[in-house]
Structure 1
Amino acid sequence: MTTFVVQWFVDRGLLIDLSANPHEALHHPGQVDQVCQREDLADLVTADTPPESDQAAARLGVRRVKFDHMVRLGWVRSPQSIEVRFGTSRAGAVDVALYTTASVDAVVPAHPEVDWEQLRTVEKGQRSPLAALRPEPAPVPA
């Protein structure tokens, strides 16, 4: 489990942070054992771990370029991003978009007009059916 997931467990009340230091976490071993023995632990971790684009594409069973089309179409939006640094220089920093697992999982049911099985079989170098689609215009306020 990552520290991100542990923090989500604290936020959900599944773990209590016993540390008074905001830069360190301290959890009661008994609580950690209880959380680790939950039958739904894998589902909790999956729900609370925000996938980046490659992970979201893999979750949907599509290539990354197809997921990028879904983002362009507004089918899924990134509520947050993180800065990832390569080395010690700021010049090597890149912003990585993170998505919610729920929003990624909602894409397929929200778009029954897409032949998902066919989309998943489009090979590299072939044009994705999503490439021809245009984003729907934003609704005009009344």
Structure 2
Amino acid sequence: MAAWRWAAGTGLVPLADAGRGLWSRSVVEAADPEQVRAALRGPIGAGVAADRLTQALGAPLRCRPRVTAAAVGHLARAGLLVRLGGDVEFPDVHPDQVAALGRRRDLSALLDRHVPLGPDQAARRLGVRRADFDACVRLGWVAPVGSVEIDYKRQGGVTTVPLYCAEDVALLPVVRPWWTGGRCTPPLRGAAPRSPPSTRLTRARTGCCWRRWLGWRGWAGPRW
């Protein structure tokens, strides 16, 4: 099945002509079985493909999350990779096609366009805390474009995790220029700047520690 899908994806055999995912008998009988088998030199799993794409991005990633096996599924759905296995979310792909995709200069742009980010990945991409990104979502600055269900067996079962467009996340500091340093609210107009907190220590704040410190000076240090 993987060899036939690769042959159809590379144009070695015609595309499905009898409906979605179906071929007519004449097309199948006209194909050369040996040529179809020779075209496929062994698929690789989604995890291996994700590691190779991460290496192609180079190091350091600069707050960009590593390419995951789920991202390979998104690239296959976008038509950038031929899905050779039956798993839709984590498909087997061809190593030569993965290598060709890794050599593209716009690989990071393709990932941003087709691979959504989870909330933790989005916060890591922006270099902020997860609570700061959650505040942006509550304010409506960025909206989810999909969701995925993750089975946390040790934490109560299936949890629905929202997914966000990587381009929207990357543009967040641009469209909200005041959002820097983890601040999630715009500055108030006409508000006086707050003075920095005083660094002077008072007797009320230090209490008995201040008296103890004076005793230390009078004592002139310990006697070992």
Q: Is the 8 A contact 2:144 2:162 kept in 1?
A: yes
Q: Deviations over 1:14-68 (max 9, x none)?
A: 223356x466845444323312332333443354332211221122222111111
Taking only the aligned residue pairs, the percentage that are identical comes to 35
Give the structure, 1 or 2, with the largest relative contact order (CA under 8 Å, sep 6 or more).
1
Q: Could you say what secondary structure the match of 2:125 adopts?
A: helix
Q: Determine if the alignment matches structure 1 residue 110 to structure 2 residue 175.
A: yes
Q: 1:38 to 1:93 in 2, by over 3 A?
A: same
Q: Is the 8 A contact 2:72 2:91 kept in 1?
A: no
1:1-142 alignment runs, 5 A limit = 1=50, 2-18=68-84, 21=86, 25-87=91-153, 91-112=156-177, 114=178, 116=180, 119-120=181-182, 130=185
**Cα RMSD (Å):** 3.0
Q: TM-score, normalised by structure 2?
A: 0.44
Q: How big is the shift at 1:13? A: 2.8
Of 55-64 and 9-18, the range deviating more from structure 2: 9-18
- Measure, in 1, the Cα distance between the counterparts of 2:91 and 2:104: 21
Q: Is the 8 A contact 1:10 1:16 kept in 2?
A: yes
Q: Deviations over 1:42-99 (max 9, x none)?
A: 443354332211221122222111111111110001121211112289x422211111
- Measure, in 2, the Cα distance between the counterparts of 1:9 and 1:129: 32
- Measure, in 1, the Cα distance between the counterparts of 2:95 and 2:131: 43
| Structure 1 spans left out of the alignment, 5+ residues | 121-127, 134-142
Please tell me whether Structure 1 or Structure 2 has the larger radius of gyration of its CA atoms: 2
- Measure, in 2, the Cα distance between the counterparts of 1:63 and 1:26: 34
- Measure, in 1, the Cα distance between the counterparts of 2:139 and 2:163: 17
- Measure, in 1, the Cα distance between the counterparts of 2:134 and 2:184: 13
Q: Is the 8 A contact 2:117 2:166 kept in 1?
A: yes
Q: TM-score, normalised by structure 1?
A: 0.65
How many residues get paired? 121
